[in-house]
Amino acid sequence: MTASFTRRLVLLSTLAFGGVFAVLVAATALLAFSLYVSALESDIHNEVADVRAYVTARGLPIEAHDLAQVIATRLYHARLTVIVLDPDVRATVRGRNSVEEEPRNKLLPPSPSNGPIARVSLALATLFGLSPARVQFADVALIVRASEAAMSDAVQRFLPVFLFAELLACIVGFMLARLLTHEALRPLVAVNAALNRFAAGDLTPQLVSESDGGDLAALARAYNGAVAEMARALTERERAQAAMHQFISDAGHQLKTPLTVIRGFIGLLRKGDLRSAQDYQRILATMNRQSMLMAEMIEKLILLERWERTEPQPQSTVIDVAQLVEDVVTPLLEAQPARTMSLEIAAGASAAIDPSDFAHAVTNLVDNAIKYTDGTIGVRVSKRGERVLVDISDEGPGMTRDELGHAFDRFYRGATRRDIDGAGLGLAIAKRAVERAGGSIEARSEPDGGSCFTIVLPAYRAA
């Protein structure tokens, strides 16, 4: 935002505020002038009343000359011009003890005037309703009107005060316009400066202050929201980059071990340095087991990567969770006839989920329990209010609090689990699968106390 824009805005604001204040001053001046006109009208009425009272007390007939002298000496009100007429004489009272007499048939002289100010004052007074009063006493006529000279003098005395007030109004309008404009533009200036910093390459998120109310304050709040979102995105990007680096490091480490074993046995087979046929079969079995481990790990990584690239499936199916869990667990139980597994199923536990993703979660959790315990594995499906719970427990070595905090991390394996085949991806897949199915997963465990994983799903309610 350029300085010229600010100057133009200050100028427009000054014109607006100055115009408002000037109008207020002019309105005040007109109010004062209307009060002055009201005072003149009161003087005219009082003058007429005084003369009427005098004539009533003296009685008729009366002459213009005598009435004019009485008014000039005893009944005259300031700021007025009084004219007394009879068939022969016109007597004009312009001030105390000031009477001008002339024949009635003589033309009236031009009204005394002090230039345009007097004419404007008289016109404005007429506009406010000021008019002369005329009273007839037999052959004598009385005309009372405001003195144009007195009115002009009053306006001239008031004019400097009025002009000073107008000048002061303009100054106050300018100062107020400047103050309010800069205060109102402060968020815009701050946002502009922050955007210039971004354009210069400084991506450090910096919030700008928000003034109270107004559209520009809303702009500042929107900018702060965008900055907060950008900071969150940068933090998320850094976290994602760190996770990617860790993922590559862990994946490379996990794949390196079976590759090293396979390459070592291949070298041994090439040399032909085998003592017996049993060694040959043992090497092939080990190589096959390591290759299957690599294939399983790669398959799981591809599955996780595919899930990370797509949102949770919007199409869900209303399924019987208990039946699905039974269908998933039964083949695993049949494949491990020597293992003891407890299965508790509650009827009527339905949820709107993706059955494929949910089956992945249950399979990995049960398979994980089979790997890490020789005791009983418990699978229970229950319904509590608006939730369907699937608990999978084991009697394995359990996890410490620190291990429990990393249980769902990729490639994470506790210190006591290094000797068990696996890549540390089962719980990560289970967690992501449950999230895609619209639920959540919780883990509880104590060292040497076994572990329990609980899948929580929103229960389906028919319309």
Residue 322 has pLDDT above 70, yes or no: yes
Higher pLDDT, 51 or 195: 51
* β strands within 262-327, DSSP E: 317-320
Per-residue pLDDT band for 202 (boundaries 50, 70, 90) equals low
Q: Is the dihedral of CA 293, 296, 298, 301 positive or negative?
A: negative
Higher pLDDT, 408 or 297: 408
Q: Give the tens place of pLDDT for each residue, 343-401.
A: 888 777 788 777 777 787 788 788 878 877 777 888 888 888 788 888 888 887 788 78
Q: Is the dihedral of CA 276, 268, 251, 254 positive or negative?
A: positive
Q: What is the pairing mode between strands 80-85 and 140-146?
A: antiparallel
**How many helices (H) and strands (E) are present in the chain, helices listed first?**
10, 12
Tell me the mean pLDDT in the region 49-56: 87
Q: In which order are the strands placed within the sheet that holds 140-146?
A: 98-103, 89-95, 80-85, 140-146, 133-137
The per-residue pLDDT for 107 is 57
Contacts with 141 (C-beta within 8 Å, 6 or more apart), sequence order: 84, 85, 86, 134, 135
Between CA 229 and CA 226 the distance in angstroms is: 5
Q: Give the tens place of pLDDT for each residue, 331-351.
A: 877 777 777 788 888 777 788
Residue 212 has pLDDT above 80, yes or no: no
Q: Give the tens place of pLDDT for each residue, 81-126.
A: 888 888 888 888 888 888 888 887 765 555 555 567 777 777 888 8
How much of the chain exceeds pLDDT 90, in percent?
0
The per-residue pLDDT for 86 is 85
Higher pLDDT, 314 or 119: 119
Q: How far is CA 411 from CA 18, 198, 249, 394, in A?
A: 73, 39, 10, 21
Tell me the mean pLDDT in the region 318-337: 81
- What is the residue type of 442? E
Per-residue pLDDT band for 314 (boundaries 50, 70, 90) equals very low
The per-residue pLDDT for 164 is 85
The per-residue pLDDT for 213 is 47
Tell me the pTM. 0.42
Tell me the mean pLDDT in the region 12-16: 76
Residue 447 has pLDDT above 60, yes or no: yes
Residues 14, 20: contact at Cβ < 8 Å? no
The per-residue pLDDT for 220 is 63
